[in-house]
Structure 1
Amino acid sequence: MKQFDQAGRRLAEAMAAAFRPYLDAKTRERGYPSLDEALLEMTANHLKSELTELLGQPASVQRRSPLQVFQAAFSEPNRLLAELGIEPPARDPMAVRAIPGDLYDLAPASSSELGEAVWEAHLAWGLAKAAAVKNPVAVLLTANLMDRSRLEPIFDAHGLELETADTFDRFEDLLAQSPAQIVIDLTHPASEEAVAASAAFRVVAYGPHVDEDAMARARMLGADDVLTRSSFFRQSGWIVGGSV
């Protein structure tokens, strides 16, 4: 638990420190005017408080991911730009679905956009979060029975019992077990809903390499790792305690 707490503090500090540099770079890139400095400072301080509060909670009660909290902080810059009468840009429909309130396309889709320090802190926190969960169970959402049969021996080799859900209702029931890991098949109709509901857990999503939109949406919704189907079954580094 100490490792999880330390990883949470490190991630909160890294994300809070990245907010203004990322926002300033994004507004310059898009040609937006300078925004009210005092309000942005208040937003940055509020974000730091929210991240510190979230990441100071036990893993089992965290109902939002740190990336979702970070993305939500862009509501204030969006509001300020709207008040200035700036015309919102055309947005990709996928981005609209994932972050509907981000009218000016400011919020990052992944923590990797925030620099190496944040990305590494996010990965370390994800691993610490998984290790902090006591129940040696993994939950798989898929309607593909062949996937289950392929994954059961892999998880068994890593000391995890695999529970499979083929409906979102069953998936929600299994979350009550506080699993060490969540695995989501992006071809399942409820995959996006499942990713969004799993903020308290380590989430790995996989899908066809041709469905780049589904993989991008999974990242935006907070999945810790998103892999093509071929990469997912070729390696085991994504498993808690696994190695490539």
Structure 2
Amino acid sequence: MVDQPDVLELEPYAQDLYLAVTRAIPHWITSRVQEIASMSIDETSKEFSSALAEVVQQTQSFVSGDLYSLLATDVDAQQSNPLHVLRTSTASATRLLQTSGVTPPRRDEYEVRAMPEDVFSIGPLTWRDLGEDVHEAGISWGAWKAATILMRRRADGSIPS
């Protein structure tokens, strides 16, 4: 189990999103990698399963740290978004699939441009790819972030009330 940062320091909507995402990571990355691998290799082999367990830990650690850092940053200073963190968390899974001889799937033009490093299309396109709990937390966090920014802009006069 990866040590969790002190999520109580996060805003409530950010905390809910953080907890939902970090709880969903093991199932999400395991099922995505197994699904992709099953098209080319025996994803049930002991060696692959053992390597996949390590990938799950690495992905959990990466997402836990980077997502916490992003969500702890003031909304006006955030330079990325939580889905980007998830999409960039797939390096160890990609290496496992490559070293296991898995054939990358065909990707459409948008995917190639938007996520050039994700040659196996592992990363999520939407919150729902990680489950309903993550979807709900992601939508709520996004609405909270937008409302926070709007309130600040109205308060400082940069947009009319």
When normalised by structure 1's length, the TM-score is 0.52
Q: Which residue of 1 aligns with 2:87?
A: 71
Q: Separation in 2 of the partners of 1:27 and 1:20?
A: 11
Q: Separation in 1 of the partners of 2:126 and 2:67?
A: 16
5+ residue gaps in structure 2? 1-9
Q: Separation in 1 of the partners of 2:119 and 2:64?
A: 23
Q: Which residue of 2 aligns with 1:27?
A: 33
5+ residue gaps in structure 1? 138-159, 163-244
Q: Separation in 1 of the partners of 2:135 and 2:85?
A: 15
Q: Separation in 1 of the partners of 2:107 and 2:153?
A: 41
User: Whose helix proportion is higher, 1 or 2?
Assistant: 2
Deviates more, 1:126-135 or 1:24-33: 24-33
Q: Are residue 127 (structure 1) and residue 133 (structure 2) matched?
A: no
Q: Are residue 136 (structure 1) and residue 154 (structure 2) matched?
A: yes
Larger radius of gyration: 1
CA RMSD of aligned residues (A): 2.2
Identical-residue share of aligned pairs (%): 27
Superposition deviation, residue 85 in structure 1:
2.5
When normalised by structure 2's length, the TM-score is 0.76
8 Å Cα contact 1:12-1:52 kept in structure 2:
yes
Higher RCO (C-alpha under 8 Å, 6+ residues apart): 2
Q: Which residue of 2 aligns with 1:13?
A: 19
Deviations 1:9-42 (A, max 9, x none): 1101111111221122222323163351224312
Q: Separation in 2 of the partners of 1:38 and 1:26?
A: 15
User: Whose strand proportion is higher, 1 or 2?
Assistant: 1
8 Å Cα contact 1:11-1:118 kept in structure 2:
yes
Please give the secondary structure, in 2, of the residue aligned with 1:135.
helix
Superposition deviation, residue 53 in structure 1:
1.2
8 Å Cα contact 1:8-1:55 kept in structure 2:
yes
Which amino acid letter does the alignment assign opposite residue 24 of structure 1? Answer: T
Q: How do 1:140-151 and structure 2 match up within 5 A?
A: none
Query: How many residue pairs align between the two structures?
Result: 138
Q: Separation in 1 of the partners of 2:129 and 2:114?
A: 16
Q: Separation in 1 of the partners of 2:31 and 2:160?
A: 45
